Amino acid sequence: MKIRFNQKRGLFLSLFLAFILLIVMIGVCAARASDTEIYKNLKLFNEVLNMVEKNYVEEIDATAVIQGAIQGMIKSLDPHSAFMTAEQYRDLQADTKGTFSGLGIVITMQDDILTVVAPIEDKPAFVAGVKAGDKIIKINGETTKDFTIMDAVHKLRGEKGTTVTITVTREGEEAPISFDIVRDTIEIKSVKHAMYSRNIGYIRISNFQETTADELVAALAKIRSGAVPLKGLVLDLRNNPGGLLGQSVEVSDVFLKSGVIVSSKGRTKSSARISEARDDGMEPECPMVVLINGGTASAAEIVSGALRDNKRAILLGTQTFGKGSVQTIVPLNDGSALKLTIAKYYTPNGESIQAKGVAPDIVVEYVKPVADTKDKPRQIREKDLEGHIEGEKGEGDGIDEKTGREMADLKKDNQLKSAIDLLRTWEVFKKM
């Protein structure tokens, strides 16, 4: 209901001042001014309220005005801090549970433009062709200029079966591209696994949610249960946008017997933490390669840095995204919440990856596979010659259905192939 400010101005000004005091008390203002400067700026805010009260052309929705002021204040800090309404806060909670209805897309603000960090594998946005790095300039025809992250999330979410149109600009494309995407229930299983060459394990982590570490332990158990000893392990963190910090620590601990995993430093003592690995006797000891790229962000970068700095794995791929800040969620009394950046995190070697990313040990750019055509020449082999002499059959001869699928996977993914080739030759080079 709309009301005039001159009726409720005192109440809402008090609420706003209380919010300012909350920010100051928890010590998370981006650049705290002196007491004199704070008082001066609050006085300025009061003058603006007076001007609005006396001169604005229409009656004011007081709640919208106050929330807009709060959102503007938090937006001025950094792209990852945000004020969330009660509805937006519920959306965020649904994300970490692993079930929600939407497009399956992770976004951030980059240079004040809504940017895709990564589409989640096999989900509507991914299937439609949305790619990491796409700049979202419109949602359902509405410009995203001045949108916050939470504004965009609210617009992109919706009931299963409904359609949302997003328009993006993409590097290398002259004109904007539009996608009509049907929303679906996004139930994210964050860990997938497979085996290559009978003794090289593959684990893909797509994001970090509440169940990720447990899923990883279960996947490792299945991989290690085979008759053939594990000779190598590929951990695929490409296009992993991150998620829960605690889960990234637990995932790193699965592979490390000791050493620092990550540390964080902020303005308050409570934000300074050091997480260390513990030896539970279950850590795999085979060589590891971690796949990373520009869509590897946040919690995924923590795992990459921890395994690299502790000399547990080789990183292969391209430079990561570079999100090295820690956010905390502060629930507020009316059901809304404040998402606030409180610290920067550092790899075990003391390196901040903020706006820089984690560099791979071996740079391998992804090469888009060339589509097969009917006219493509095929290499002729002895077995293709009419009347050829049959070879002797033995273990591993021929290509069964599973091996055929593996070859197809590696043909489409040169980075994965490079990782597996490296692990295959690991033992050879150790003997030299």
Show the tokens assigned to 336.
């809304």
pLDDT (tens digit per residue) in 313-370: 999 999 999 999 999 899 999 899 999 999 999 999 999 999 999 999 999 999 988 7
Q: What is the pLDDT of residue 212?
A: 96
Among candidate residues 81, 206, 275, 298, the one labeled active-site is 298
What is the C-alpha separation between 165 and 183, in angstroms, rounded? 10
Do β-strands 177-182 and 314-317 pair in parallel, antiparallel, or remain unpaired? unpaired
Count of all residues that appear for the chain in the document: 432
Contact 92, 329 (CB under 8 A): yes
Closest by CA to 107, choosing from 2, 242, 235, 212, is 242
CA-to-CA distance for 14 and 155, rounded, in angstroms?
31
Is 298 annotated as catalytic?
Answer: yes
Strand partners, 99: 187
pLDDT value at position 416? 96
Structure tokens at 389: 């002499």
395: which residues sit within 8 A by CB, 6+ positions away?
none
| Vertex 361 angle, CA 358 and 250, to 5° | 55
Both tokens assigned to 388: 């050829």
Ranges in the chain, pLDDT < 70: 1-34, 94-99, 371-405, 407, 431-432
Buried b (16+ CB within 10 A) or exposed e, 339-376: bbbbbbbbbbeeeebeeebbbbeeebeeeeeeeeeeee
Q: Is the pTM of this model over 0.85?
A: no
To 10 degrees, the CA torsion angle through 61, 65, 67, 73? 180
Which pLDDT score is estimated for 374?
45
* 206 tagged catalytic: no
Catalytic residue among 323, 325, 339, 413: 323
What's the pLDDT at 370? Answer: 73
First to last CA, the chain: 79
3-state secondary structure the chain: CCECHHHHHHHHHHHHHHHHHHHHHCCCCCCCCCHHHHHHHHHHHHHHHHHHHHHCCCCECHHHHHHHHHHHHHHCCCCCCEEECHHHHHHHHHHHHCEEEECCEEEEEECCEEEEEEECCCCHHHHHCCCCCCEEEEECCEECCCCCHHHHHHHHCCCCCCEEEEEEECCCCCCCEEEEEECEEEECCCEEEEEECCCEEEEEECCECCCHHHHHHHHHHHHHCCCCCCCEEEEECCCCCCECHHHHHHHHHHHCCCCEEEEEEECCHHHCEEEECCCCCCCCCCCEEEEECCCCCCHHHHHHHHHHHCCCCEEEECCCCCCCEEEEEEECCCCCEEEEEEEEEECCCCCECCCCCCCCCEECCCCCCCCCCCCCCCCCCHHHCCCCCCCCCCCCCCCCHHHHHHHHHHHHCHHHHHHHHHHHHHHHHHHC
Is position 309 annotated as part of the catalytic site?
A: yes
Looking at residue 16, what is its pLDDT? Answer: 57
Cβ contact 40:304 at 8 Å? no
Catalytic residue among 134, 236, 253, 309: 309
pLDDT for res 389: 59
